[in-house]
């Protein structure tokens, strides 16, 4: 799951292009539509996800000095007052500045110890979390507008990585896998992956399972968006985008309890 600076740069560019590709020509009515992110419109969600990049641009990875998130409040107010044309121009400028900064870094920056949203890790981890966040927010704004985004490539893989890392916690604490139980998740679509979790005292990722208690098949978009609490499990079950074999009750519970973050 490790990546180089070039990988993160390419993934950021793809993530930005997805967001800008959705928002560049939205009408005022579309900007005011509800996003999948609770309490935010399409405009507010876009301002948030791009605004984070204003916070990170110019910030040096550090364990002592956090990014200046205090500038987000004024930015959100400023963005809300902009015309659509001015807002799109501001987004384009922020994206260009952030990509230029990432391209200017030395390769070893990814291994620099850094504050991240989930505690002390590396700057590479911070960049991976940003890809995950942008991938989800792109769908927060795209899906309500009827826009189906690609589910393949480096951004999808990195978004999946973030959920993959947490599957021991999800299966143990959220789904309630009991001691001696196990589960295999078959992720399908543009990124295919099998994820295995077994409980031996505690739920943890394992390399393989020969006879899991339950097997769940789910497409990558549904998997990540359910993990973020963004889509209705029943709608995805009814659409056939998540199914299970083995312990039926456990499979049903897993399908409805994958959420681990907002």
Q: Is residue 243 a contact partner of residue 216, using CB atoms and an 8 Å limit?
A: yes
Q: Which among 161, 262, 175, 169 has a CA at the least distance from the CA of 216?
A: 175
In this prediction, residue 262 carries a pLDDT of: 63
Q: How far apart are CA 60 and CA 87, in angstroms?
A: 26
In this prediction, residue 141 carries a pLDDT of: 97
Helices marked H in 84-219: 84-104, 123-142, 153-165, 167-169
In this prediction, residue 38 carries a pLDDT of: 82
pLDDT at 73 over 60: yes
% of residues, the chain, pLDDT over 90: 97
pLDDT tens-digit readout, 97-109: 999 999 999 999 9
Q: What is the mean pLDDT of residues 62-72?
A: 96
pLDDT at 187 over 80: yes
In this prediction, residue 169 carries a pLDDT of: 96
pLDDT at 72 over 90: yes
Provide the CB-side half-sphere exposure for 204 (13 A, CA): 5
Average pLDDT, the chain: 96
Q: Is residue 131 a contact partner of residue 155, using CB atoms and an 8 Å limit?
A: yes
First-residue to last-residue Cα distance in the chain? 22
Break the chain into its structural domains and give their ranges. 5-148, 166-256
Question: Span 5-148: which CATH code?
Answer: 1.20.120.450
What CATH superfamily is the domain 166-256? SCP2 sterol-binding domain (3.30.1050.10)
Q: What is the mean pLDDT of residues 181-194?
A: 98
% of residues, the chain, pLDDT over 70: 99
pLDDT tens-digit readout, 206-239: 999 999 999 999 999 999 999 999 999 999 999 9
Q: How far apart are CA 26 and CA 15, in angstroms?
A: 18
Helices marked H in the chain: 5-23, 28-31, 42-56, 72-81, 84-104, 123-142, 153-165, 167-169, 220-227, 233-238, 248-256
pLDDT tens-digit readout, 1-55: 568 999 999 999 999 999 999 999 999 999 999 999 988 999 999 999 999 999 9
Q: What is the mean pLDDT of residues 150-173?
A: 95
In this prediction, residue 2 carries a pLDDT of: 66
In this prediction, residue 1 carries a pLDDT of: 55
């Amino acid at each position: 799951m490790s990546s180089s600076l070039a990988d993160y740069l390419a993934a950021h560019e793809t993530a930005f292009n997805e967001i800008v590709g959705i928002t560049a020509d939205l009408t005022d009515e579309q900007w005011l539509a509800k996003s999948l992110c609770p309490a935010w419109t399409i405009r507010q969600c876009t301002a948030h996800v791009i605004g984070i990049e204003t916070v990170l641009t110019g910030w040096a990875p550090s364990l002592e000095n956090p990014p200046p998130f205090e500038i987000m409040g004024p930015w959100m107010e400023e963005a809300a007052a902009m015309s659509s044309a001015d807002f799109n121009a501001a987004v384009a400028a922020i994206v260009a500045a952030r990509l230029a900064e990432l391209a200017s870094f030395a390769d070893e920056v990814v291994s620099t110890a850094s504050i991240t949203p989930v505690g002390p890790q590396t700057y590479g981890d911070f960049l991976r979390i940003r890809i995950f966040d942008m991938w989800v927010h792109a769908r927060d704004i795209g899906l309500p507008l009827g826009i189906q985004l690609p589910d393949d490539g480096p951004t999808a893989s990195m978004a999946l990585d973030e959920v993959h890392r947490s599957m021991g916690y999800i299966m143990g604490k959220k789904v309630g896998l009991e001691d001696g139980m196990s589960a295999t998740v078959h992720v399908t679509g543009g990124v295919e992956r099998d994820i295995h979790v077994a409980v031996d005292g505690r739920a943890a990722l394992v390399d393989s399972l020969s006879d899991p208690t339950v097997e769940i098949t789910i497409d990558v978009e549904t998997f990540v968006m359910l993990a973020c609490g963004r889509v209705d499990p029943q709608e995805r079950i009814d659409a056939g985008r998540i199914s299970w074999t083995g312990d039926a009750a456990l499979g049903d519970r897993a399908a409805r309890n994958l959420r681990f973050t907002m």
